Amino acid sequence: MLTIGYIGNGKSTNRYHLPFVLQGKNLKVKTIYQRTPEHEKWKRIEGVYYTSDLDELLNDEEIQLVVVCTTHDSHYEYTKLVLEHNKHCLVEKPFMKTTEQAKEIFTLAKEKKLIVQAYQNRRFDSDFLTVQKVIEEGKLGELFELEMHFDYFRPEIPESTASFKSYMSYLYGHGCHTLDQVISYFGRPDRIHYDVRQLLGKGRMNDYFDLDLYYGVLKVSVKSSYFRLKSRPSFVVYGKKGCFVKEKRDRQEEHLKLFYMPDNKDFGIDTLDHYGIITYIDDKGEIHEEKVKSVNGDYGKVYDDLYEAIVNGKNKTITDEQTLLQMEILETGVKGLK
């Protein structure tokens, strides 16, 4: 059994972590720390101890893993505290504010022989897993271009922000999803072209980004905006022999927002209407167009992999090198914005 404590009792903990952990056979949630219990908004979980005394959590010898689910600007301080108390640590994304902070945290963890990693749950999105399946089947031929879109129409968010902070930028907050997917599958790019904007002007938040990552002949584009009234397809992949279009994103977040939880058999699962479409030319020169059944996503895989690393000594799936590369890209992307 892996015994877990949480720092933070907000949306991240209750929507994106606990629904999966509570389904885990070898996982036990013991304690949740909340700094301001008077602002508590989520229903308490029976059998879990809630406290506003952080030392109670940090000094509990039964707790092996602490999950940091707080705002970006406090990740470094809380993670360092957790490691100094000799506990493994899982940190919400974006991992840290800077690459230097990330390097320091990884060094400290290695010195103490502890595991620390980012919660890159989007690595286990259905649409991303389905794209991998299509690529590996080979029907598209040599890959030339892959476009990833993560669009919203939420103008009220940038409009309500009257200052710029790099770690609160759109690139940090949402690029950390898609960039991890690119890095986890394709690795370190040969070069990157950055187009990171403040559409509402200087002194406002970053609300748009378009990054092109080059891998030989392949260009992977990561694009996102707060001002897309109609979203672009989640994924579009072009190869020498065909293309694959996945219009709809993974449905796990959609279901979680509706409080439709992972204990339902159809949680997060695409229906026929959500399937992507592959169009390709076969070896006889004939054109085919087919729907592709989606691979099921599962955010709980992050915890499954952590369990194997902590309890059984296996290698981490989400590596330090991948996280550091992502931090470098995020920092470079917002450099120069004010």
Give the tens place of pLDDT for each residue, 179-193.
999 999 999 999 999
Quick one: which of 150, 163, 158 has its CA closest to 209? 150
Quick one: which of 237, 191, 193, 240 has its CA closest to 216? 191
Q: Is the pLDDT of residue 167 over 90?
A: no
Report the topology of domain 2-119. Rossmann fold (3.40.50)
- Residue 119 CA to residue 12 CA, distance in Å, equals 11
Domain boundaries, the chain: 2-119, 122-298+329-334
- Averaged pLDDT score across all residues of the chain: 96
Alpha-carbon distance values, 7 to 104, 137, 149, 240, 322 (Å) = 20, 42, 31, 48, 24
Q: Is the pLDDT of residue 260 over 90?
A: yes
What is residue 102's predicted lDDT score, i.e. its pLDDT? Answer: 98
What is residue 219's predicted lDDT score, i.e. its pLDDT? Answer: 98
- Residue 7 CA to residue 85 CA, distance in Å, equals 14
- Residue 210 CA to residue 196 CA, distance in Å, equals 6
Q: Is the pLDDT of residue 292 over 90?
A: yes
- Residue 121 CA to residue 305 CA, distance in Å, equals 11
Q: Please report, rounded to a whole number, the percentage of residues in the chain having pLDDT higher than 90.
A: 95
What pLDDT band is residue 40 in, cutting at 50, 70 and 90?
confident
Quote the pTM value.
0.95
Q: Is the pLDDT of residue 39 over 90?
A: no
92-103 mean pLDDT:
96
What is residue 36's predicted lDDT score, i.e. its pLDDT? Answer: 87
Strand partners, 276: 292
What is residue 206's predicted lDDT score, i.e. its pLDDT? Answer: 95
Q: Please report, rounded to a whole number, the percentage of residues in the chain having pLDDT higher than 70.
A: 100
Q: Is the pLDDT of residue 100 over 90?
A: yes
The tally of CA atoms less than 13 A away on the side-chain side of residue 304 is 10
Instruction: Give pLDDT tens digits for 266-279.
Output: 999 999 999 999 99
- Residue 26 CA to residue 316 CA, distance in Å, equals 18
Report the topology of domain 122-298+329-334. Dihydrodipicolinate Reductase; domain 2 (3.30.360)
What is residue 37's predicted lDDT score, i.e. its pLDDT? Answer: 83
What is residue 304's predicted lDDT score, i.e. its pLDDT? Answer: 96
